[in-house]
A and B are shown apart, each in its own frame.
Chain A
Amino acid sequence: MTRKTLNDDLPDVSEEELKRLEKLLNNWQPPYPASSDVDRTIAAARLELQLQNDTKPAPGLWIARLLRLTATELSGFNTWYWVMSLFLYILGLAVLLQFQGEPRFALFALAPVPFLVGLSEVLRSRDTGMLELEMSCRYNGASVMLAKLCITAGYTILLNACAATWFASSYAGLGLGTLMQAWLLPFTLMTALALAVVMRLRGSNAVVLTLSIWGSCCVLLLFNPGIIEQLTSLPYSTGLLAATLGTGLALFLGYRLLQQTNTGKGGDWLEAGY
């Protein structure tokens, strides 16, 4: 609106008054919102930004996150697990070496044991009901489960690798390759079996069941030294192939377990809440 039309519309406003009005308006400050309102607006904007910010983490970052989570979970493991499984492992090796005397078979028989025992730790949150709380956190139940699986599998591999190295250096005539092969095969296959079992059973039951299955297998083998001989002296290529198959199967079943955990969202393992 120009001054002219204003003058036309309001004939009895003097030039003077108009100037005053203009000055008044020039000096007018819009009322400033209360600081609580400003804070509210900022909070709302921040929330909106947070919700909109849909950036997938880079693969490197994803691994870093998993490692951080693994460190967290490591602190969550019961100390008894480390002690007990180490004790069982060493005791088992010693007993088998003493009575059967074949280091390859000792490795073979004990390879999956720390992992199987560790299942009770991996599934503890599911069994106690802590998983429900974990699932509502940023790193949800499936990530937690994955981190724990990595820990137990890593620990088992470490124990086996150490034992194999030690045997290789103390028994002449046994190559490291043969020894590695001796534990890889049972470890991967039993891991796959255990993961399949775990999808259907509580942790402690799964541990008992898989350990008994494995124990019976080993006892059967003890009475058939011929088969042991064959199994422990498989050609590299066959052993490698079998271990690869076992690994693939274990990875697949592990993936299924994580999926099931996340979409427990299927709700089957959630106890009715009363």
Chain B
Amino acid sequence: MKLVIDHVSRSYKRHLAIDDVSCELTPGIYGLIGPNGAGKTTLMRMLADVLRPSSGQITVNGTSTAVLGERYRDLLGYLPQEVGFYSYFTGERFMRYIASLKGLPGRESEARITALLRLVQLEDQRHRKIGHYSGGMKRRLGIAQALLNDPKLLILDEPTAGLDPKERIRLRNLLSDISGERIVILSTHIITDIEFIAKEVLILKDGRLVRQDPPEQILHELEGKVWSVQIPAHRLHELEKQYMVGNIQRRGDEALARIIADRRPEGEATALEPRLEDIYLYYFGDQPERDE
């Protein structure tokens, strides 16, 4: 299966949220990263057939999704950034409701619902009202519904938001287990969510796709650019003016800062092994959220 995003743009009134994005996706996991407002949700909504591109098209194996319509949606599993659950539904009733909207036959879906609720560890909560669920439980229920129709294209908008570290790892393992013949696209602010599992990283900045490459390659390019610098704490702001500064550890009067610089910075600096997190700093000159 080949999904092609072909010169897609999208504007809200006069604001251009997605600006001429083109890329090709084949089975595997793609990590979509970018700061708030970069256009991740907008792009994913268009992929989920919820929003129409202002220009350009999305094709599956050469046919436009606008032509495929229902046939395209049959391939989809989508987790919106925010799901407006009906609070008076129980988890099970919600799953049944989505199953029938997806056109799954009743008998088949019962078994599937049970299996999926077990998968996201909500089996003992299935008869409780969603209004009484915690944020993480709602997120997991959302993930479960996205998998109902065994989708060939799984679109997850910040699936790990609100999940505890244990659940995040479970989700990561789950995704890498099922990714085989599927295209999985997930957006996140937590880079470690996609470390090790992403086939490629898509970097969005101001509505533009600035990179689409395997994580190893991006890391490779950062080699020799990540440094640890030790300076007196009162000189930190000078450093921040000059370089992109990541983590800062204070040790009394001294501070140890992780910075990105093309050449060895002055002072006491040691080269560090680049981590995927540094991508964020490098491209957005900003700190990513941290795991744990």
* Chain A residues engaging chain B, CB cutoff 8 angstroms: 40, 43-44, 47-48, 50-51, 53-54, 68-69, 72, 75-76, 78, 124-125, 127-140, 144, 263-267, 270-274
Q: Which of A136, A265, A274 contacts B36 (CB 8 A)?
A: A274
Smallest CB–CB gap between A64 and chain B, Å?
12
Assembly CA distance A68 to B103 (angstroms): 10
Scoring B76, B85, B97 by chain A CB atoms within 10 A of each residue's CB, the highest score goes to: B97
Give the total of B residues in contact with A, Cβ under 8 Å.
Answer: 44
Scoring B63, B70, B84 by chain A CB atoms within 10 A of each residue's CB, the highest score goes to: B84
- A51-B60, A51-B61 known; A129+B51 contact, CB < 8 A: no
Contacts of A69 in B (CB 8 A): 100-101
A136 contacts B50, C-beta separation under 8 Å: yes
- A40-B181, A138-B73, A273-B41 known; A128+B97 contact, CB < 8 A: no
Contacts of B103 in A (CB 8 A): 137-139
B234 within 8 A of A: no
Assembly CA distance A76 to B93 (angstroms): 9
Return the 4 tightest CB-CB contacts between A and B, nearest first. A129-B84, A128-B84, A273-B41, A265-B52
Assembly CA distance A124 to B97 (angstroms): 15
A136 contacts B84, C-beta separation under 8 Å: no
The 9 sampled A-B contact pairs (Cβ below 8 Å) are: A48-B61, A68-B100, A69-B100, A75-B97, A132-B80, A137-B102, A138-B74, A144-B101, A267-B12
B36 contacts A273, C-beta separation under 8 Å: no
Assembly CA distance A134 to B61 (angstroms): 25
Smallest CB–CB gap between A3 and chain B, Å?
46
For B66, give the chain A residue with the smallest CB separation.
A265
- A54-B71, A138-B103 known; A132+B52 contact, CB < 8 A: no
Assembly CA distance A28 to B257 (angstroms): 67
For A143, give the chain B residue with the smallest CB separation.
B101
B48 within 8 A of A: yes
A136 contacts B48, C-beta separation under 8 Å: yes
Q: Which of B50, B74, B89, B98 contacts A132 (CB 8 A)?
A: B50
For A129, give the chain B residue with the smallest CB separation.
B84
Smallest CB–CB gap between A56 and chain B, Å?
10
Q: Interface SS of chain B: helix, strand, loop or mixed?
A: loop
B82 within 8 A of A: yes
B86 contacts A130, C-beta separation under 8 Å: yes
B68 within 8 A of A: yes
Assembly CA distance A53 to B71 (angstroms): 8
B160 within 8 A of A: no
B145 contacts A270, C-beta separation under 8 Å: no
Assembly CA distance A140 to B101 (angstroms): 8
In addition to A43-B181, A69-B100, 13 A-B residue pairs with Cβ atoms within 8 Å of each other are A47-B75, A50-B74, A51-B68, A129-B82, A129-B84, A132-B45, A132-B83, A133-B84, A136-B49, A138-B103, A264-B50, A266-B52, A270-B50
B73 contacts A130, C-beta separation under 8 Å: no
Contacts of B157 in A (CB 8 A): 273
A137 contacts B73, C-beta separation under 8 Å: yes
Which B1-58 residues have a C-beta within 8 angstroms of A?
1, 12, 36-37, 41-42, 45, 48-52
Contacts of A40 in B (CB 8 A): 181
Contacts of A44 in B (CB 8 A): 1
* Chain B residues engaging chain A, CB cutoff 8 angstroms: 1, 12, 36-37, 41-42, 45, 48-52, 60-61, 63, 68, 70-71, 73-76, 78, 80-86, 88-89, 93, 96-98, 100-103, 145, 152, 157, 181
Smallest CB–CB gap between B46 and chain A, Å?
9
For A267, give the chain B residue with the smallest CB separation.
B51
Assembly CA distance A14 to B100 (angstroms): 72
Contacts of B100 in A (CB 8 A): 68-69, 72
Assembly CA distance A125 to B49 (angstroms): 17
For B142, give the chain A residue with the smallest CB separation.
A133
B101 contacts A137, C-beta separation under 8 Å: yes
B71 contacts A51, C-beta separation under 8 Å: yes
Contacts of A265 in B (CB 8 A): 50-52
A274 contacts B81, C-beta separation under 8 Å: yes
Contacts of B98 in A (CB 8 A): 133, 137
Assembly CA distance A68 to B99 (angstroms): 12
Assembly CA distance A242 to B75 (angstroms): 46
Smallest CB–CB gap between B209 and chain A, Å?
18
Assembly CA distance A43 to B45 (angstroms): 26
Contacts of A128 in B (CB 8 A): 84-86
A138 contacts B101, C-beta separation under 8 Å: yes
Scoring A51, A54, A129, A265 by chain B CB atoms within 10 A of each residue's CB, the highest score goes to: A51
Contacts of A263 in B (CB 8 A): 52
A136 contacts B86, C-beta separation under 8 Å: no
Contacts of B84 in A (CB 8 A): 125, 127-133
Assembly CA distance A43 to B60 (angstroms): 15
Smallest CB–CB gap between B180 and chain A, Å?
9
A72 contacts B51, C-beta separation under 8 Å: no
B83 contacts A138, C-beta separation under 8 Å: no
- A50-B74, A54-B71 known; A129+B80 contact, CB < 8 A: yes
A78 contacts B88, C-beta separation under 8 Å: yes
Scoring B81, B96, B101 by chain A CB atoms within 10 A of each residue's CB, the highest score goes to: B101
